[in-house]
Amino acid sequence: AVDNDNDGLISKEEFLAESDLFLQGRPARIILVVGGPGSGKGLLSERLVKECAVVHISSGDLLREEVKANTYLGKQVEEIMKSGGLVSSAIMVALMQKKMKDHPGKRILLDGFPRSAQNAKDLVTLCGRPELALHLDCDDCILIERILARGKSSGRADDNIHTALQRIRTYHKSHQVTMDFLRDERVPIVELDCSATPDGVWEQLRAVGRLMRKAVGYNNNLMNGESKSKNLGDGMNYQKYQSTIERRRESVFVLDCVASFAILALVGFSWLEPVGEFPTGQ
């Protein structure tokens, strides 16, 4: 039924047309983590997984898993990765969707994807418009320094100066077009200065969360009833449990607040009342 031209193969077009049959459900919400090599996408994603219980899917990790398993696909992409090039959109979409279908209804972090306008178009075709894009941006010199530092311990074949330069060139070649496509699709984009430390980048997100707490209707008493009625069991400290609940509550609203802020920034703040002029400062 899927092989429309009866050639014994499923083409990319046939895959896209019958994606629901293959995937059996789409993730409800997708957040893109976009940035150059060495920008800290993986570190930020790990923090979001830990603090907000989201599912993290890294395009680079998926490819490295294929290479490590020595699959047919892995052999195809290994040389591309070593040279710093981009793997074809069709391959990336297939790998991403294979992974995402295991998490229907979950909030998905796509780390390092899309890397081209074609990636973005295929993603929108398959999964609809992403909820949000977190854009990690900093100077290329910082990216190179981080890649070389990481190469001392990572064991990755692409963590060297020659591949790093090529990866950054490839990134810039397609990055702006990709971001323009996301803007055209009305995907909210939050700009983060990733020249800061990982904790500094996280604090940027938390600052947005605190700013927009009221906009998403955050309620300090949201889980009080649950905390009091929960059976803690013998030996479990009630204050420790309540502290854990509070920390969890403080974290999970971050993504919702960031999304709300991005949407508000997209549509404008004309509905806000003026607060007066800021001092110029001589």
pTM greater than the 0.85 cutoff:
no
Cβ 115 vs Cβ 174: under 8 Å: yes
User: Two tokens at 101?
Assistant: 């279908």
What are 133's strand-pairing partners?
32, 189
Q: Where are the beta strands (DSSP E) in the chain?
A: 29-35, 55-58, 107-111, 132-137, 189-193
Are 77 and 87 contacting, i.e. CB atoms less than 8 angstroms apart?
A: yes
Q: Which residue has the tokens 């430390």?
A: 197
Instruction: Give the list of residues 6+ apart from residue 259 with CB closer than 8 angstroms, or none.
Output: 31, 131, 132, 188
CB 1 within 8 A of CB 104: no
Classify burial at 148, counting beta carbons within 10 Å of its beta carbon; exposed 0-12, middle 13-18, buried 19 or more.
Answer: middle
Predicted local confidence at residue 38, as pLDDT: 93
Instruction: Return the closest-CA partner of residue 113 out of 137, 138, 87.
Output: 87
Sequential pLDDT tens for the chain (282 residues): 567 777 776 665 665 566 555 544 444 478 899 999 999 999 999 988 888 778 899 888 888 888 888 888 788 788 887 777 778 887 787 788 778 888 877 888 898 888 888 888 888 887 778 888 999 999 999 999 999 999 988 888 888 999 999 999 989 988 998 899 999 988 888 889 999 999 999 888 877 766 655 544 544 444 444 444 444 454 555 566 566 656 555 555 666 666 665 555 444 443 333 334 334 443
